[in-house]
Structure 1
Amino acid sequence: MLLQSLLLAGLVILPLLLRLFFPYFWTDVLYLKDLFKILLKFASRRRRRPLFLALDRFLERTAEHPHKPFVVFENKTYSYEDTDRESNKIANALRTHSALKEGDTAAIFMGNEPAFIFTWLALSKIGCASALLNNNIRSQSLLHCFKCCGAKLMIITADLQAAVEEILVPLCEDEVCVFVMGMECGSVHMQSLSEKVEQASDTPIPHSLRANVSFKDPAVYIYTSGTTGLPKAAVINHTRLLAALAVLAANGVTNRDVIYVNLPLYHTAAFLIGFIGSVETGSTVILKRKFSASQFWNDCRKHNVTVIQYIGETMRYLCNTPKRADDKEHNVRLAIGNGLRADIWREFLSRFGKIVVREFYASTEGNVGFVNYTGKIGAIGRINFLHKKMLPYALIKYDTELDEPIRDVNGRCIEVLKGETGLLVSKITEIASFEGYARNLEQTEKKRLRNVFQEGDVYFNSGDLMKIDHDNFIYFQDRLGDTFRWKGENVATTEVLDIVTQVDFIKEANVYGVEVPGHEGKIGMVAVTVKNGAVFDGIEMFNHVTRCLPTYAQPHFLRIQNAVEVTSTFKQLKMKLMREGFNPTAVSGPLYFLSDREQSYVPMTMIIYDAIISGTIRL
């Protein structure tokens, strides 16, 4: 009897003790259970023959519920069957009118619209990889992005013909075929794909056309600015795409959910999570051309949206909209994304209701990720033994001045203690692979960190500084290198520098990001020196940067110096410039502001400065 009483008491007390000393115990157990199930499914699919790819999951879903809405765009709805047929027509048109074959790459240069999804599916059906070009890039950046992935063909929407016409001469020299999703072409060097699609059959595409595709082959190229130079094409192979199927399902999304996708499809978040994730769950996607804070919740109500995607900046925009009585009247139950600041997180929940927020960490080319499955505000994830065993990672000491890891007397890296900030590195293995960047061995090698903890090991250098607290939550701290983030986009300073220094009167330039109160990330600023005998021309500079750079990468502030300051190893000094920012009282020498109204870089005044700080002038 005594033993039974003690056992009964233990059963009563144990849950209380667990809650007191291990408050996340059951949450961890449930997460690990789901993680294990995902791994089993992934392993099972990897063993299937013929190879089971993300495309095959779409075909399964189409067979299971052909008439279910898959993509809703503006006033038109496409079922799974409609999507399948549209992609078949595009694939058959390409088979007839292009030289594309299995293993080739084609570039998709489009904004958010159903044709983007149809085209990707079509290319996959004929065994081709897709390069997802940012539809904001222009000129030499556009040409570079097209060439660096070895694409043979470009498929564009009608509204982007002018952008392609700027680079038509070198494209024609390389005998590149440009197809337009439209009935009219602005150049004789372009062809109407829509015309050919109208005449094409919608018969299914034989599996034999992609029979030789392997898991290691590129599925898509997604572009990342990284820390140096022009955008780099990160290679996403079919294994990575197969793993991406699980992201939404792992967060409880089902075929009953309606997912609102307003981030650009050329981005990892919208493509891999919003689109590919929905293929796995069999959900309906509400596709938006672009994010609109004023229309966001009306769209959610209109379409009975249950799952939304975000980046930190979009949540701030939503919180900045005028408050309404119906702010909490919606069906959204889950928000999934990254970059959400703790204060905005709290404000979002307070204003828009009890929405489960799943903050995660991942990078386009990276081989490790974290998920905050507990809802701990401010954290990007939670670490556990199984996760680290499968995907070995560490936070190591890093010298930000020398821009290199700190090593011990044996030349090995040193892990930081809990509570300390360190550089996230993750071991490159067969499971956690790093495919690198297309045709860019130099930048690929720069992301590999060798002999980290033992001779011969190789780790992926994330470039991100993080911290793990004593409760095993991990927090993003900062980003190394010359990249800064503005409007949800990574901006490589050297890419901007290359554009700025093309102007005749500019001798040298130093590009960096500066903080603006009330805004996420950092906005672009440049310090320049003017050539001897030359005069700074604000109109010419404005015309050049707005023509050659997307809006988010354009330097909004410009200061003129007598000389660009460098270190003894000729690295440009940025910290002092970043601290001084764009305040006219802190900056010595001429200071300018990029004015859309004046179509010029105009002298910066305290009136303009105060208007920016107060939000009267919107950036």
Structure 2
Amino acid sequence: MIAWIAWMFTTVCAGLFALLIFQRMTYPFFWKDLIYYLKIRKVGKAIKSRMQRGVITYLDCFVNQANKTPDKAFIVFEDQTLTYQDVDKRSNQFAKVFRTEGGLKKGDHVALLMRNEPDFICVWFGLSKLGCEVALLNFNIKSKALLHCFESCGAESLVVGADLVGSLAELLPVLKEKNIEVWVTDASCPYDGVNTLLDKVEQASGLALPDYPSVDLTSNFLFIFTSGTTGLPKAARVGHLKAIMCMAFLQMCGVRSDDNVYITLPLYHMTSSLLGVGGCIQLGATCVLKKKFSASQFWKDCVKYNVTAFQYVGELCRYLVHQPVVPEERAHHVRVAAGSGLRADVWREFIRRFGKINIREAYGLTEASVGFVNYTDEIGPIGRAGYFNKLNASFEFLRCDPQTYEPVRTASGRCVRANKGETGILVAAVSQNSPFLGYAGNKIQSEKKLLRDVFKEGDVYFNTGDLMLQDHRDFVYFRDRVGDTFRWKGENVSTTEVSEIIGSLHFLKEVNVYGVSVPGYEGRAGMAAVVLKPGYSLDGEKLCSHLVQSLPAYSWPWFLRIQTSIDVTETFKQQKGKLVQEGFSPEAVHEPLYFLDQSQRDYIPLTPSLHNDIISGKVRL
């Protein structure tokens, strides 16, 4: 009997061991996928339970947290610390001033133009407590774009930071003509017709408003303007449900309630306002807020404020690895970095140089409820798309036309899924639980983002415009954004791929790849704007040799433009529109230009004479 039991035990153990070996060989990330799936389910149940208690919206979550942990530090800004209770009371004061002095009420649209500071959050929450829909404006945009933003989101009022009101001087008469009420977060103002806030706020009561407005969870909460790299910004409607979902991001990345989260990205961006500040509220964590990102001060701030987690975009990390070594970069206590757009080469260098930090690369959109998180240690992917991941979100990768990037449809009119290992366009199902509220004041652009009758009659999907690849291990890689990819010699060229390859050369600091039109040729020829590292000059022969070894000929940049810096948006997205427009003409570009001379295997100066030869067809590409 004992021998039989021993035999059975040995057999079972051997079977389990064989099953484990089989699982590791065929589905090595099974347990990580399952654990992450169960974590999402747990967070979802907690949110549902919270809603059943009446804590429904983003603002409800903040008020609830302020009641639970009133004395916990919520915002640390420079030498100032505000607790959850402090922000709750100050936002009540702002709300009462806006209501009594400005007559603001539920449903009013108010634009907010402020840099990162505690009162950005207090003003925003105060307006939300009145039921206003707040439009978060990019403070870098100029007068024409500002007016466009007002018109697109229908704002009747503007709140501007004290340090930004001067930049609006020439625009104030126009705003007055349009009957837009302007408020400044200051006790005085030198401009006529601008209402001051701080003198009135100090006199207002910090007690909660007695008539807190009810909210429909499916209605609009914020307007967040897509920064984009070309064209005027679009006002994306962000619903209350989307905002609630965003609040779980930091928790899913491993951030805890005792963490100090460093936020250096602008609060008008969803990454900071919803994922960052909202993530801190969800956990009851502390937000260390920086007015503006500083690469030289980054690690010093991390040590000074005992930062344990921070948010990034890829270029932020790249700036850090190019900084001189400082003692603080190894003396910090950072354990989690969560963000998006981190290149694999920068990722490896970041970990090597700055110590064991859990990188949580992710992908998400302002407009739609689709996203990925890479919860593994695999360097490069933005997330996973296996069985369990599909249970959490309804998304697909569609095969698309290589020239138009429109989804390929069968004879019956249905779309075709991309195969594993094949680049496809990411789409997300639109439903009651995953809505797309569209762009304010732009029905045409809103409709353009929707795909109908994708797999069956009546279904609707949001077209992200992002090209992705799901490999055979179910990792998802970002390939390019439609519009950034260009076609040359009958082939598609990924600007992201070419930038990464060229950017690995030791003498180049920054690279921005794009396509330019050349008379007599279909498609667009490759061009790269590059910034040289201090003390280095362009090594055209080395670059040419590197291209031959690393890229197919159709991907090579034919033209180079040497710049002192790369133009980027506030969230470090490279600007390409102006570069594409200026092209490679020495008359339009007043910076050094070079041309790839294949006979010399070198980049040679692009003179007006050579430019004319290229345009006329005398020199062939």
TM (normalized to structure 1)?
Answer: 0.80
The Cα of 1:605 is off from its aligned counterpart by 6.2
Is residue 215 of structure 2 the alignment partner of residue 233 of structure 1?
no
Q: What's the counterpart of residue 44 of structure 1?
A: 49
Number of equivalences:
530
Q: Secondary structure at the match of 1:464?
A: strand
Conserved 8 A contact 2:559-2:593: no
Conserved 8 A contact 1:110-1:135: yes
Conserved 8 A contact 2:423-2:467: yes
The Cα of 1:106 is off from its aligned counterpart by 0.9
Question: Residues of 1 paired with 2:509 and 2:439: CA distance?
Answer: 31
Q: Secondary structure at the match of 1:424?
A: strand
Match of 1:367 among 369, 375, 384: 369
Q: What's the counterpart of residue 406 of structure 2?
A: 404
Conserved 8 A contact 1:57-1:280: yes
Conserved 8 A contact 2:242-2:369: no
Paired AA for residue 210 in structure 1: P
Q: Secondary structure at the match of 2:262?
A: strand
Conserved 8 A contact 1:139-1:163: no
Identity %: 43
Paired AA for residue 32 in structure 2: T
Q: 1:471 to 1:78 in 2, by over 3 A?
A: same
Q: Pairwise mapping of residues 565-584 of structure 1 onto structure 2 (< 5 A)? A: 574-575=524-525, 579-583=557-561
Question: Residues of 1 paired with 2:51 and 2:81: CA distance?
Answer: 33
Is residue 583 of structure 2 the alignment partner of residue 604 of structure 1?
no
Q: Pairwise mapping of residues 154-173 of structure 1 onto structure 2 (< 5 A)? A: 154-173=158-177
Question: Residues of 2 paired with 1:315 and 1:201: CA distance?
Answer: 43
Paired AA for residue 213 in structure 2: R
The Cα of 1:162 is off from its aligned counterpart by 2.5
Question: Residues of 2 paired with 1:523 and 1:199: CA distance?
Answer: 54
Residues 221-263 of structure 1: per-residue CA shift (max 9 Å, x gap)? 1101458741111111111111122111222222110000000
Is residue 71 of structure 2 the alignment partner of residue 67 of structure 1?
yes
Q: Secondary structure at the match of 2:209?
A: coil
The Cα of 1:526 is off from its aligned counterpart by 8.9
Q: Pairwise mapping of residues 450-461 of structure 1 onto structure 2 (< 5 A)? A: 450-461=452-463
Q: Pairwise mapping of residues 108-257 of structure 1 onto structure 2 (< 5 A)? A: 108-206=112-210, 208-211=211-214, 213-226=215-228, 229-257=231-259
Q: Secondary structure at the match of 2:237?
A: strand
Question: Residues of 1 paired with 2:348 and 2:124: CA distance?
Answer: 38
Q: 1:580 to 1:169 in 2, by over 3 A?
A: farther
Q: Pairwise mapping of residues 307-386 of structure 1 onto structure 2 (< 5 A)? A: 307-386=309-388
Q: What's the counterpart of residue 8 of structure 1?
A: 13
Q: What's the counterpart of residue 590 of structure 1?
A: 586
Question: Residues of 2 paired with 1:257 and 1:423: CA distance?
Answer: 36
Q: 1:365 to 1:200 in 2, by over 3 A?
A: same
The Cα of 1:126 is off from its aligned counterpart by 1.1
The Cα of 1:105 is off from its aligned counterpart by 1.5
Q: 1:216 to 1:565 in 2, by over 3 A?
A: farther
Paired AA for residue 251 in structure 1: C
Q: 1:70 to 1:588 in 2, by over 3 A?
A: closer
Q: What's the counterpart of residue 282 of structure 2?
A: 280
Paired AA for residue 465 in structure 1: L
Q: What's the counterpart of residue 104 of structure 2?
A: 100
Conserved 8 A contact 2:513-2:526: no
RMSD: 2.9
**Where do 5+ consecutive residues of structure 1 fail to align?**
485-513, 528-560, 568-572, 594-601, 613-619
Conserved 8 A contact 2:224-2:269: yes
Question: Residues of 1 paired with 2:399 and 2:91: CA distance?
Answer: 49
Conserved 8 A contact 1:313-1:340: yes
Conserved 8 A contact 2:516-2:526: no
Paired AA for residue 8 in structure 1: C
The Cα of 1:327 is off from its aligned counterpart by 2.8
**Where do 5+ consecutive residues of structure 2 fail to align?**
487-497, 529-556, 563-581, 595-602, 606-621
Q: 1:58 to 1:520 in 2, by over 3 A?
A: farther
Residues 76-123 of structure 1: per-residue CA shift (max 9 Å, x gap)? 111111111111111111111102101112111001111101111101
Q: What's the counterpart of residue 534 of structure 2?
A: none
Is residue 305 of structure 2 the alignment partner of residue 303 of structure 1?
yes
Q: Pairwise mapping of residues 408-487 of structure 1 onto structure 2 (< 5 A)? A: 408-481=410-483
Question: Residues of 2 paired with 1:437 and 1:95: CA distance?
Answer: 27
Question: Residues of 2 paired with 1:576 and 1:258: CA distance?
Answer: 44
Question: Residues of 1 paired with 2:318 and 2:395: CA distance?
Answer: 31
Is residue 10 of structure 2 the alignment partner of residue 22 of structure 1?
no
Q: What's the counterpart of residue 612 of structure 2?
A: none
Residues 513-532 of structure 1: per-residue CA shift (max 9 Å, x gap)? x96844667379999xxxxx
Query: Runs of at least 4 residues of structure 1 off by over 6 A?
Result: 523-527, 564-567
The Cα of 1:371 is off from its aligned counterpart by 0.8
Is residue 36 of structure 2 the alignment partner of residue 31 of structure 1?
yes
Question: Residues of 1 paired with 2:584 and 2:114: CA distance?
Answer: 43
The Cα of 1:381 is off from its aligned counterpart by 0.2
Paired AA for residue 425 in structure 2: L
Q: 1:57 to 1:483 in 2, by over 3 A?
A: farther
Q: Secondary structure at the match of 1:260?
A: strand
Residues 420-468 of structure 1: per-residue CA shift (max 9 Å, x gap)? 1111111111122111111110000010012212222211101000101
Conserved 8 A contact 1:580-1:587: no
Q: What's the counterpart of residue 522 of structure 1?
A: 512
Paired AA for residue 167 in structure 2: A
Question: Residues of 1 paired with 2:268 and 2:509: CA distance?
Answer: 24
Question: Residues of 2 paired with 1:378 and 1:520: CA distance?
Answer: 19
The Cα of 1:19 is off from its aligned counterpart by 3.4
Q: 1:84 to 1:525 in 2, by over 3 A?
A: farther
Q: 1:288 to 1:565 in 2, by over 3 A?
A: farther
Paired AA for residue 78 in structure 1: L
The Cα of 1:337 is off from its aligned counterpart by 0.2
Conserved 8 A contact 2:560-2:593: no
Question: Residues of 1 paired with 2:279 and 2:510: CA distance?
Answer: 27
Question: Residues of 2 paired with 1:228 and 1:349: CA distance?
Answer: 33
Q: 1:469 to 1:523 in 2, by over 3 A?
A: closer
